[in-house]
Chain A
Amino acid sequence: VNVGPRVSVPRLCFAVLALAPALLGVEHVFGQGPATALTVLSRDPRRAIPVTVVGGQEMVGLDDLATSFQVTVRDESGALTVSYKGRTVVLTPDQTIVSVAGRVISLPSSPVRIGNRWLVPIDFISRALGGIYDARIELRRASHLVIVGDLRVPRLTLRQEATGNGARLTVDIMPRANTAVAQDGNQRLTIKVEADALDVVFPPGQVAGLIQGYRSVDVTTFALVLGPRYASFRASTQVADASSSLVIDLIPAPADVPPPPTTTQVESVAPAALAEPPALATLGSGVRTIAIDAGHGGDDIGAKGADGTTEKVVTLAIARKVKASIEARLGVRVIMTRDDDRRVAVTDRTALANNNKADLFISLHANQSFRSNVTGTAVYVASFEDGAVDQPGLVPERLPVFGGGIRDIELVPWNLAQIRYRRQSEILATAIAEQFRERVPLAARPIDHAPLLVLESANMPAVLIETGYLSNAEQARLLGSADFQSLLAQGIVEAIVKFRDASTGFVEGAVR
């Protein structure tokens, strides 16, 4: 594994502790490359542990760990022991297997001796030391942080984009935390996060005249440096189970003329329209086709309740009600992945939506739990493995086309198409959950995330609705009733209207 320098953006980690004012004002914990030291965040003052790269592995010295974590290290009779309060880790030179308080684990590489020092892979800290320590130890490889104890150190991912005449900053916060945005003169907006420290990467570049850059203010606050075109801002927060997103829209002065080259504008939007959400009558261009997917079908009956209610029947009944309601109320085109009792492959369902250029994809299912006490409706958004999100291939490529010439063709990996719609899907899921809240019992986690096959390839905002649990007798009875199915259908259609109302920003900013 090549761990050579590859970080191209300034990375700031604010270490800190609400109870340690002496640390306030210390901002840059580290910065320029993955081979730099690890920073230990705890209730004690922060400290650094040097990192050495050996054979492609990032290693730390046992002597440094002894100092930082107050552990005792002994090198005797061919074995290394690391002890803390009576608990011991035993390492053997040339072995990746390590005994941690009697339990065997393995590390990516064996201990290495350099001079009179023993080095171990940095994973040793969380996997081995964490097993004998009296506080939780979390290693964040990417940001070179070691978090000791129950500190709240959310990861912040910032995305800035030009939106028509304005600009938008989206801050994804994982795990979720409350934020406060304040204007500090006309020079900057300060964003304070309710946490002990922040793990944040600032995006490079600027948005002409509105966003000039970022800087840290204190360990839990950073500032967005405003440009001369700035007039006001709007901030909103979407909470999605484990994470939250803070969206800040920067609105330029009314007399401001939009800079020509920054972004492609769908249409010229009057400044007044930006200040208030557009009326429904002026929209409609954002959602023209909706794909409704009735889960399972044919010999694939899906889940089954004790009373014989089957998932395939429930989903088709609700899908038909949703279709009828959308067509009657919104007058947009509805595609059904199945309109009768037949088996349709999961990937064919998404393909149908993609090939018909649907603007929304809603998959309907009924759930089943090994425990019959579980109840409630939930809306799922696709989740992806960390590596998938970072894959290249989401940018246009210049290719020769039929008939001659060259065109920019957008090559999107089929199974990753949903990645760029995750935020819109999250908004749609939130809108549906809100409508359901007024109508049907919600699950403990009304919005959830999972690597669901039918969503991953959807080239549009997409959600999967688990309408209830057939494993619960009362829920099975409800799911089989036309009244309950109508309530669900009403909630879905109402949410589509709300989503469409709020979708102008997405239409402008979409890559499609």
Chain B
Amino acid sequence: VNRGRTALIASLVACAALFVWVLLVGVPRWYGHTVPATATPAAATTEAIPAGRKIKARLFYVAEEGTRLSSVEREVPYAAQPVDQAREILNAQIAPAMPPLISAIPAGTALRALFITSEGDAFVDMSRDIAAAHPGGSMNELLTIYTIVQVLTANLPAVTAVQLLVDGKEVDTLAGHVDLRHPLGQNTHMSGEN
């Protein structure tokens, strides 16, 4: 009887251990394998609209040399209006980058609002994280700002310049260096295209 009771207890302990393992390790691993939503920033965005039409857009990340941007082509959802297309592209750009890509947009930064004037100036309002979580340094500041300028001007001919707003307000700079008081045009020097 004692042997049977011991076996029963052992079985229960084993089942409990298995349950705990499945709960804490197995399930997360299972979902980790079956939801590769973070394979690329663009993929993460496109998962939301699996049946939607897509376009190819150039997204910008910190180049190997660390002082310029380099671009990669990603699919992003298509939008009929330039302003909606700009929003889709920017959301893909600010999504967390997967290694080895390094994004110059501080983690947690969100797009608050965006509009494009008939003159081709895009006003991009980002959450305060873009300044508050910025690591500083004029090089990083240039990379952050021109990531946004380049991704819009390179992908949307309707946009010729970009003015960055933070938390709904105009700002002098993001981290104390680059003048953000007016729209900035494309900078092929920063994007390594000249």
B contact face: mostly helix, strand, loop, or mixed:
loop
Q: Which residues of B does A touch, CB under 8 Å?
A: 55-57, 62, 64-67, 78, 80, 82, 85, 102, 104, 135-140, 142-143, 156-158, 161, 172-173, 176-179, 181-185, 189, 194
**Chain A proximity of B130: nearest CB distance (Å):** 14
Q: Is the CB of B66 within 8 A of A373?
A: yes
| Contacts known (A450-B138, A464-B138); A445 close to B178, Cβ less than 8 A | no
Residue of A nearest to B159 (CB): A106
Residues of A within 8 A of B85 (CB): 104
A448-477 vs B, CB cutoff 8 Å, 1 = contact: the mask equals 011111101000000010100111000000
Q: Is the CB of B66 within 8 A of A371?
A: yes
- Option from B157, B161, B176 in Cβ contact (under 8 Å) with A346: B176
**Alpha-carbon distance between A385 and B178 when the two chains are bound, in angstroms:** 13
- Option from A123, A373, A452 in Cβ contact (under 8 Å) with B138: A452
Residues of A within 8 A of B161 (CB): 385
Would you list 25 pairs from A and B whose C-beta atoms are within 8 A, ordered by A residue? A102-B56, A107-B157, A302-B137, A302-B176, A303-B137, A304-B135, A304-B136, A346-B172, A365-B177, A368-B136, A368-B139, A369-B67, A369-B139, A370-B140, A371-B62, A373-B66, A374-B67, A374-B139, A385-B161, A451-B184, A452-B138, A452-B178, A453-B172, A466-B138, A469-B137
Q: Is the CB of A371 within 8 A of B102?
A: yes
**Alpha-carbon distance between A301 and B194 when the two chains are bound, in angstroms:** 34
Residues of A within 8 A of B183 (CB): 385
**Alpha-carbon distance between A451 and B178 when the two chains are bound, in angstroms:** 6
- Option from A367, A370, A444, A451 in Cβ contact (under 8 Å) with B62: A370
**Chain B proximity of A383: nearest CB distance (Å):** 9
Q: A96-B158, A452-B177 are in contact. List 15 more A-B contacts (CB 8 A).
A: A103-B55, A242-B189, A242-B194, A302-B137, A303-B136, A369-B67, A369-B137, A385-B182, A385-B183, A444-B65, A444-B67, A450-B177, A464-B177, A469-B139, A470-B137
Residues of B within 8 A of A107 (CB): 157
Q: Which residues of A does B touch, CB under 8 Å?
A: 96-97, 102-108, 123, 127, 175, 242, 295-296, 300-304, 311, 345-347, 365-371, 373-374, 380, 385-386, 415, 443-445, 449-454, 456, 464, 466, 469-471
Q: Is the CB of B138 within 8 A of A380?
A: yes
Q: Is the CB of B176 within 8 A of A367?
A: no
Residues of B within 8 A of A452 (CB): 138, 177-179
**Chain B proximity of A77: nearest CB distance (Å):** 20
**Chain B proximity of A240: nearest CB distance (Å):** 12
- Leading 6 A-B pairs by shortest Cβ distance: A368-B137, A371-B66, A374-B66, A453-B179, A303-B136, A303-B137
**Could you count the A-B residue pairs with CB atoms below 8 Å apart for me: how many are there?**
122
Residues of A within 8 A of B189 (CB): 242, 449
Residues of A within 8 A of B56 (CB): 102-103
**Chain A proximity of B42: nearest CB distance (Å):** 14
**Alpha-carbon distance between A346 and B181 when the two chains are bound, in angstroms:** 13
| Contacts known (A295-B176, A302-B176, A385-B184); A369 close to B55, Cβ less than 8 A | no
Residues of A within 8 A of B135 (CB): 303-304, 368, 370, 471
**Alpha-carbon distance between A374 and B66 when the two chains are bound, in angstroms:** 6
| Contacts known (A103-B56, A106-B82, A311-B136); A369 close to B177, Cβ less than 8 A | no
Q: Is the CB of A466 within 8 A of B157?
A: no
**Chain A proximity of B174: nearest CB distance (Å):** 10
Residues of B within 8 A of A127 (CB): 157
Residues of B within 8 A of A368 (CB): 135-137, 139-140
Residues of B within 8 A of A451 (CB): 178-179, 184
Residue of B nearest to A311 (CB): B136
Residues of B within 8 A of A450 (CB): 138, 142, 177-178
**Alpha-carbon distance between A83 and B189 when the two chains are bound, in angstroms:** 31
**Chain A proximity of B163: nearest CB distance (Å):** 11
